[in-house]
C-alpha cells in the first residue's frame, strides 16, 4: 500500500498489515510531518442494475407492428403510387416476390414438420 505524506510531496510504500483497520498515527521520514493514516479499502461498488424499461420482446413486437403498419399503408396506396410515382413499381414487385418466398418457405417448413394445413 502506498501512503502520501501530509505535505503531499513524499510517498511511501508500507505493507497492508502496518496500518490497522482503525488507522494509526504515522510520521514522514523526510519532513517529520505526522498525520493519522487509515487503510485504503477498495470498496466494491455493486449497484443494482434496473431492468430496461422495454424488454427485448416488447421492442421486437413494436418494431414488427411498425413495419406491418407501414407495409399496410403502402399496400393501401399501391394503385395510387404506381399510377403517380412509376418508380414504385419495382418496390411492389420486390415486395410481392418476397411475400411469395416467405409463404413458400413457411409452407415447406410446415411440410417438413408434418403439419397438415
- pLDDT tens track of the chain, all 117 residues? 888 998 889 998 888 888 888 889 999 989 999 999 988 766 666 677 776 666 888 888 999 999 989 888 988 998 998 999 999 899 889 988 998 999 999 999 999 999 887
- List % helix, strand, coil for the chain (3-state, nearest 5): 50, 10, 40
pLDDT for the residue 53 = 67
Q: How many residues can be counted in the chain?
A: 117
How far is the CA of 71 from the CAs of 67, 77, 88, 104, in angstroms? 6, 10, 13, 19
pLDDT for the residue 15 = 86
d(CA 10, CA 106): 75
Residue 37, C-alpha cell as written in the block:
493514516
d(CA 94, CA 102): 12
Q: How far apart are the first and last CA of the chain?
A: 74
d(CA 116, CA 60): 29
pLDDT for the residue 109 = 92
How far is the CA of 22 from the CAs of 1, 42, 64, 67, in angstroms? 16, 15, 60, 63
pTM: 0.38
Amino acid at each position: 500500500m502506498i501512503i502520501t505524506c501530509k505535505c503531499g510531496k513524499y510517498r511511501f510504500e508500507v505493507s497492508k498489515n502496518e496500518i490497522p483497520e482503525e488507522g494509526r498515527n504515522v510520521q514522514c521520514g523526510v519532513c517529520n510531518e505526522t498525520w493519522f493514516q487509515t487503510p485504503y479499502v477498495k470498496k466494491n461498488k455493486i449497484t443494482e442494475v434496473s431492468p430496461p424499461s422495454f424488454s427485448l420482446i416488447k421492442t421486437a413486437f413494436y418494431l414488427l407492428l411498425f413495419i406491418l403498419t407501414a407495409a399496410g399503408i403502402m399496400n393501401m396506396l399501391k394503385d395510387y403510387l404506381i399510377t403517380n410515382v412509376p418508380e414504385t413499381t419495382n418496390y411492389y414487385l420486390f415486395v410481392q416476390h418476397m411475400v411469395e418466398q416467405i409463404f413458400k418457405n413457411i409452407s415447406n417448413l410446415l411440410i417438413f414438420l408434418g403439419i397438415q394445413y
